């Protein structure tokens, strides 16, 4: 009988310890915030945007060089394309026309840095660089 009580007590203690442990994302700014979590498990997911834009003169010059279509790549992944004539904006704001807005989801931290490439005629890289996207924000990249 004493053995049964000891085993039963151990099971109760183990259950009470594991019942309190709730891993999850504890960052309220993350897309997958878990208000019930009490132990961070590095599962937080964030998203942000990068917006590519150019002024009229840049777009016109690209078209004269034969780059009538632009393709946008982040970290080696081709994500979208658009006619160069449509990539004209006065200020590159995220919600305005004349821009190429790309949304990215990223794990782990509120900021992620990507290598970008803009490709033109025959998929030749005409612009490249790095852009850091912050969670919930829109990072502009002006084509020079």
One domain, residues 79 and 21: no
For 133, how many CA atoms within 13 A lie in the half-sphere containing its CB?
Answer: 25
- Each of the 144 residues of the chain gets a pLDDT tens digit; together they read 677 666 766 666 665 555 577 888 888 889 998 988 888 788 999 999 999 999 999 999 999 999 999 999 999 999 999 999 999 998 888 878 999 999 999 988 899 999 999 999 999 999 999 999 999 999 999 999
Q: Are residues 135 and 121 in the same domain?
A: yes
pLDDT of residue 14: 60
Is residue 58 domain-shared with residue 26, that is, in the same domain?
no
Q: What does the pLDDT read at residue 38?
A: 85
Count of domains observed in the chain: 2
CB 133 within 8 A of CB 111: yes
Q: What is the pLDDT of residue 16?
A: 56
Question: Would you say 138 and 48 are in contact if contact means Cβ atoms under 8 Å apart?
Answer: yes
- Angle at Cα 27 formed by Cα 24 and Cα 30, nearest 5°? 95
35 and 49 fall within a common domain: no
The sheet that has 100-107: what strands, in order across it?
Answer: 100-107, 45-53, 138-142
């Amino acid at each position: 009988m004493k053995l049964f009580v000891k085993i039963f007590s151990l099971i109760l203690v183990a259950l009470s310890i594991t019942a309190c442990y709730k891993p999850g994302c504890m960052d309220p700014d993350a897309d997958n915030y878990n208000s019930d979590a009490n132990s961070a498990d590095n599962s937080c997911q964030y998203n942000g945007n990068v917006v590519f834009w150019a002024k009229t003169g840049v777009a016109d010059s690209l078209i004269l060089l034969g780059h009538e279509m632009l393709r946008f790549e982040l970290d080696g992944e081709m994500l979208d394309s658009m006619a160069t004539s449509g990539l004209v904006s006065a200020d590159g704001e995220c919600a305005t026309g004349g821009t190429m807005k790309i949304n990215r989801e990223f794990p782990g931290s509120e900021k992620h840095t990507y290598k970008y490439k803009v490709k033109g005629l025959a998929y030749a890289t005409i612009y490249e660089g790095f852009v850091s996207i912050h969670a919930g924000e829109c990072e502009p990249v002006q084509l020079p």
